[in-house]
């Protein structure tokens, strides 16, 4: 890792013990993965092929969110999770981990390819393309009465089992005790890394217990975001996000005046003092 240079330097002045301690975290391997059995939604569509998926659900997921999510199938993750899953992932977005990149996975459909299961012991397999030692794996199943045409909320999940301090290999099996259910459900997993990163991985695997009323496939198009009308830029005025500025438009921001040098619609994070590429201070 990059910090080796600095570590080498540091070791010249630091005690040997301290320097040795520095080196340890740098040898950690990377960790990525998802559930392969029952296959998670991202794994299913990746296996079908991102450019030409077979199932209607995967076709819809690609149409809704593009193909990139399925090339990056092993990274439905949040880098800074640190166990705060319920705080940082909103209800309805559990399958995408709340990430826009993976929004196709949240589609509320009753036709996601599902593994046929029944109550009792079920061996599940996690495919870690890059395994990592010392991780915690939590498994959940949706509550009785939940339907895949409803949003998946945290309160819909019933805890099955948690396996702490696991050292996953490329394919790791656990046996879960599955309760009685009818129709379609989701087995949800959280892989929380403990070593070297606060990153956590999230998976939604569709399963079918049979005997459910099979609701017709829904074509749940994501609600189109409201169209905002672009307000004509004021010739002068206070900088405002959402305004489209043309070259030569002038604004004030925090008491200073700026002139637009490249046409753009202003957004948070592109305030004039921070974006010399867009604004010239007068």
28 binding another protein? (CB under 8 A) = yes
Q: CB neighbours of 89 closer than 8 A, spacing ≥ 6?
A: 78, 97, 98, 154, 202
**Binding another protein by CB under 8 A: which of 119, 247, 267, 282?**
267
Cα separation, 117 vs 177, whole angstroms? 11
Cα separation, 155 vs 152, whole angstroms? 8
Q: Of 125, 145, 135, which Cα lies nearest the Cα of 209?
A: 145
Q: Of 144, 127, 120, which Cα lies nearest the Cα of 39?
A: 127
1 binding another protein? (CB under 8 A) = yes
Question: Which of 34-42, 145-153, 190-198, 204-212 is the region at the interface with another protein (rule: CB under 8 A)?
Answer: 190-198
**Binding another protein by CB under 8 A: which of 24, 87, 116, 213?**
24
Cα separation, 104 vs 42, whole angstroms? 9
Indicate the pairing of strand 264-265 with strand 244-245. Answer: antiparallel
Give me the helices (H) in 24-172, please. Answer: 41-48, 56-65, 68-71, 85-88
Site map (CB under 8 A) of another protein, residues 72-91, x = contact: x--x-xxxx-x---------
Quick one: CA dihedral 156, 124, 200, 93, positive or negative? negative
67 binding another protein? (CB under 8 A) = yes
**Binding another protein by CB under 8 A: which of 45, 58, 69, 94?**
69
How many residues form the binding site for another protein (CB under 8 A)? Answer: 65
Cis peptide before 38 (omega within 30 of 0): yes
CB 78, min distance to another protein, A: 7
14 binding another protein? (CB under 8 A) = yes
Closer of 11 and 147 to another protein (Cβ): 11
User: Under rule CB under 8 A, which residues in 131-170 are in contact with another protein?
Assistant: 132, 134
**Binding another protein by CB under 8 A: which of 49, 52, 68, 83?**
68
Residues of the shown chain interacting with another protein in the complex, contacts defined by CB under 8 A = 1-3, 5-6, 9-10, 13-14, 18, 21-22, 24-32, 65-69, 71-72, 75, 77-80, 82, 99-101, 130, 132, 134, 194-199, 224-225, 227-228, 241, 244, 262-265, 267-270, 274-278
């Amino acid at each position: 890792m990059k910090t080796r240079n600095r570590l080498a330097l540091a070791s010249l002045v630091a005690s040997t013990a301290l320097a040795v301690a520095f080196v340890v975290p740098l040898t950690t391997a990377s960790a990525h993965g998802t559930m392969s059995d029952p296959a998670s939604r991202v794994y299913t569509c990746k296996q079908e092929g991102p450019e030409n998926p077979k199932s209607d659900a995967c076709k819809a997921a690609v149409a809704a969110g593009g193909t990139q999510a399925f090339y990056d199938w092993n990274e439905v993750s949040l880098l800074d999770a640190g166990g705060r899953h319920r705080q940082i992932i909103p209800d309805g977005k559990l399958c995408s981990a709340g990430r826009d990149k993976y929004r196709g996975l949240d589609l509320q459909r009753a036709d996601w390819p599902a593994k046929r299961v029944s109550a009792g012991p079920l061996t599940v397999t996690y495919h870690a393309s890059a395994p990592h030692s010392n991780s915690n794996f939590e498994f959940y199943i949706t509550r009785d009465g939940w339907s895949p045409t409803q949003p998946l909320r945290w309160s819909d999940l019933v805890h099955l089992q948690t396996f702490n301090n696991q050292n996953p290999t490329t394919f790791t099996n656990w046996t879960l005790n599955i309760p009685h259910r009818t129709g379609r459900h989701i087995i949800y997993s959280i892989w929380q890394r403990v070593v070297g990163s606060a990153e956590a991985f999230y998976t939604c695997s569709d399963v079918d217990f049979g005997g459910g009323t099979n609701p017709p496939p829904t074509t749940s198009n994501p609600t189109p975001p409201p169209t905002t009308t672009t307000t004509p830029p004021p010739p002068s005025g206070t900088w405002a996000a959402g305004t489209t500025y043309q070259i030569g438009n002038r604004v004030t921001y925090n008491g200073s005046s700026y002139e637009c040098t490249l046409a753009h619609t202003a957004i948070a994070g592109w305030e004039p003092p921070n974006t010399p590429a867009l604004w010239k201070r007068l």
